[in-house]
Every structure is written in C-alpha cells, then in structure tokens.
Amino acid sequence: MTIDIRPLLNGETNEIKLDFPLSVDEGIRDVSFPESIEVSGSVNNKAGYVTLDLCANVPYRTHCARCLREINGTKTVEFSKPVADEKTLQNNENDDYVVPVEGMIDVSEMLIEQILLDFPYRHLCKEDCKGLCPKCGKDLNEGSCGCPADDPDPRFDVLRKLLEDKQKKN
C-alpha cells in the first residue's frame, strides 16, 4: 500500500487517515494468515514533526505447541515511526525513520516485517495446556490417560535397590 503524503508535506492538511486491507502471502514457522489484515491509522503533522501510526488486526491460524490443537486467533500489532526526508538523515539506511520517496510512503513491506517480528515463537491453546502424554499420545486436557506417572529409568535400578536396602536397615 502506497500512501501519498504530499498534501501533508505541503501544509494542505495536518492528518491523513488510513484504512485498508493488507494480504500476507508468506507464513512464519507454523503460522499462516488465512484472511486479509485490516489496517487503520494515520499520518500526522504536528508542528513539522510527521509520524506514521498504524494498527493491524491480524487473523492467524497455527497449532498449540503442547497438544497440537488448531488455534484460530487475532493479534493486534501496532506500528509507529517518525517520517523524515532524505535531506535531514545522515544515513539513508536508518530503520528508525520512514523515508518518503517523492512524497510517497510504501507501508506494506515495513508493516509485514513488524507483524512477523511481533509473533511469538510458540503458541498455546490456553495458558495451562497439559499437552500430550509422552507414552500414548492422549490429549491430557481431556483427562488422564492411565499411563503410569512414574516410569523410573532402568539404569538407576541398582541405586534404587541400594536405597531400599538402606531404608530396611534403619
């Protein structure tokens, strides 16, 4: 999405309202974006200080990292950066500013980058998700599976026997 901010730079207006859909074709890790993202925001000029403020409601689909249930959710990502022209910046590759080219700002790439950076590495269906049983694979959120909770490592049988013998003597 390209935004024409020339009216703002020329002093014709102090605010440009934004409302547009954005599509993200690429996914990250195991997250996909099945619907277009609704983006709203504005470009404001306050006494010569121009800022770009965007808010994106991102619908996503992924799986729980513990129980593998499908998760459909919406994440809100906020984006705010000052706008500066090439003349005032010493280093044109500065990522702290949005630099318009001939009075136009392309927000799609920087907003998609921010969305991808804001997503967590792992997702859970709920905070206290119990996950899957490591032996039988049953979803422990639905109840116990009946597998023994304590399955001792057979390599420690000799030590276990020594402890039992010591307790019998005492």
pLDDT, tens digit (0-9, with 9 covering 90-100), for 47-97: 888 899 999 999 999 999 999 999 999 999 998 999 887 666 655 556 678
Q: Which two tokens stand for residue 122?
A: 């792992």
Please check whether residues 54 and 98 belong to one and the same domain: yes
Position 126 in a domain: no
Average pLDDT on 126-146 reads 91
Please check whether residues 50 and 96 belong to one and the same domain: yes
Average pLDDT on 145-157 reads 81
Query: In the predicted model, is pLDDT for residue 157 greater than 80?
Result: yes
Please check whether residues 149 and 110 belong to one and the same domain: no
Per-residue CA distances from 119 to 30, 56, 72 (Å): 11, 13, 14
Position 123 in a domain: no
Structural element, H or E, at residue 75: strand 70-83
List, for residues 3-54, the tens digit of each pLDDT value: 888 888 888 888 999 999 988 877 677 888 888 899 999 999 888 888 999 9
For the four alpha carbons of 28, 24, 21 and 48, in that order, the dihedral sign comes to positive
Better-predicted residue by pLDDT, 93 or 114: 114
Is 150 buried (19+), middle (13-18) or exposed (0-12) by CB count in 10 A?
exposed
Structural domain boundaries, residue 41:
2-118
Please check whether residues 32 and 107 belong to one and the same domain: yes
Average pLDDT on 139-163 reads 85
What pLDDT sits at residue 120?
A: 86
